[in-house]
Amino acid sequence: MDVPVLHTPSPSSSTSGGISGDELSDSSSSLPSSFISAQNYITIKEGCQSVFTIEELSEAVNRCKELVLDSEECSEERKWLVRRLIELRHRLQQAKDAEVDKDNSDTSETQVLLGHHFKLEYNPTSTKKRYCDRCCGMIWNVIQSWYRCADCQYKCHVKCLEQTSRVCAHLIASENPHYEPNICPEVGLADQSYRCYECCTHITFKNSLVEARLCDYTGRYYCPSCHWNTQAVIPARVVKNWDFELRPVSRASYQLLRHTRSRPIITLNPHLYNLVGELASIKNMREELSRMKHYIATCRFALESGVLMKELEWRHHLVHDTEVFSLNDLIEINAGVLVDKLKSVHSLLMKHIKEDCKVCQGRGYICEHCDDKAIIFPFDMSMYTCPKCNYVQHRVCWIRKQLCPKCCRKEKKEKEAVS
Amino acid sequence: MNQYVNKKFSNQYKATIGADFLTKEVVVDDRIVTMQIWDTAGQERFQSLGVAFYRGADCCVLVFDVSAPNTFKSLDSWRDEFLIQASPRDPENFPFVVLGNKLDLDTRAVSSKRAQQWCQSNNNIPYYETSAKEAINVEQAFQTIAKNALAQESDTSLYNDFPDQIKLTGDQKPAGGDQCAC
């Protein structure tokens, strides 16, 4: 095919690369292989956006829409068609933008393949060694350019691009936003029919070139070209055993783990807080920080300086939600780095609210139970915040009196209003 | 408050979050004093932040919207809440000032007489009808606020040695969940 064609397979003709219904149901058992068989729906082979006119793209969008409507509801096929529709629309938008703004047209081509967004790279001066994720051969950066996925960092030779069979880690992570919960859920080579879990290469014991390598994350066996003995921290081992030892994982798992490292998707077993000392103090600090945030976010001076908000934005999930962690957080907790960083943010905010800022101090509370005139704040662990009216009082005072003065006043007023 | 300090009025209603203050230097009886005017959130949803600044206030300004009767009705509860939180030494004689704001609107719902009556029955609180938008009476009202606050302060200043360094705090309270952009 000399003329690039937007290839939208029709489900009825299996000869054109489309997928028949049988194939789909067969492949539903394992996620990656079903992705692979469906690749035609998400592969835009011709890459360079400028090749297509807006008319061609709009037509492709319409055709794709029709296909989506024809496909079975909630089917794998429809899912891939919808993805393709999104890609095509994105292209269309890009083409339209380029039309409007011709001087500034971005000529960098992006190849879309199995959810990857490949960008061509060329850097002859780099001394870093790169290997092709497809053929495992060296990428000679002095003379060769290579494709790199902007999402998952998958790298391959230009010639190997077409043979790519691994689905982008970004796509897998967005399909299933949780880590494998079990430690190395091994099923055995026999259950894998003595084939590599990813590329289905036959694995024998006679030849070390196709030896079986176990991925500690998925618990499956891979051939050496899909498993380079790359080492990674395994989330399930961390969550269950607080074990941060590096273990060999397959390339696909490695890319997935690297891609999701900073995503806050881990919720820890509450018992772990008692067993790991640092976790308890981190939990306290996170709770205090999330309450301090209310002060900082509404303080004119803090917003003007911008520094404090920036501190809070640094790994904002730590402050937004006090329960979730990213894998990176846990690794840093284990290394003792995170506690120090949190402490410094904590003390910075504390200083602003309690010492530097008049507005924040004005928004504090004074305990109504006792004669202490000191300003108190809800983020202090020694204070009690009434769950009904948010009124803050010393915890000791509250324990002694067992009632909230503001709630009492409110009730009294309501009674008066009724009578 | 903005009208008084910055001579600006914004038609865009911006709810006060928590509390904020502006300062202004004013001349009262040939003395320059710095007035610190706090504006507190009237809306219930912002009341998760405290009101520690009530403590040490020298005067409290209650503001209601003349076009919204419910804001007038809630003056009582605002005053009571202030007295509890501020716990002044002499609650009976603590200086209050009441402002009926939004005079510029045609939809007036609280009569001048009704407001006057409430003020009289509450220890003769001075009452002003203002419009922050048109800057009507704002200057006069704040002059009175400063004077009354200072009078309160000078009673106590007999006991301290810093007569020239008086900090003045007025409390700007949009009454009962309603805004006031003065």
* Chains A–B, number of C-beta pairs less than 8 Å apart: 54
Per-residue pLDDT tens over the stretch A175-199? 888 999 999 999 988 999 999 998 8
Per-residue pLDDT tens over the stretch A94-122? 777 777 766 554 455 677 888 888 888 88
The shortest CB-CB distance from A300 to any of B20, B38, B80 is to B20
Q: What residues does each domain of chain A span? A: 105-260, 270-361, 365-419
Share of chain A above pLDDT 90, in %: 20
Low-confidence winner among A31-35, A82-86, B147-151 (lowest mean pLDDT): A31-35
Contact between chains at A363 and B53 (C-beta distance less than 8 A): yes
Q: What is the 3-state secondary structure (H, E, C) of A273-296?
A: HHHCHHHHHHHHHHHHHHHHHHHH
- CA closest to A406 among chain B residues: B81
A362 contacts chain B (CB < 8 A): yes
Q: Give Cα B77 to chain centroid, integer Å.
A: 15
A368 contacts chain B (CB < 8 A): yes
Candidates A303, A363, A376, A386, partner chain B, best to mutate (most B CBs within 10 A): A363
User: Whole-prediction pTM value?
Assistant: 0.70
State chain A's mean pLDDT as an integer.
81
What pLDDT was estimated at residue A237? Answer: 94
Per-residue pLDDT tens over the stretch B96-135? 999 988 888 888 888 889 999 999 988 888 998 988 888 8
Q: Does domain A105-260 have CATH number 3.30.60.20?
A: yes
Q: What distance in Å separates the CA atoms of residue B32 and residue B34, rounded to the nearest whole number? A: 7
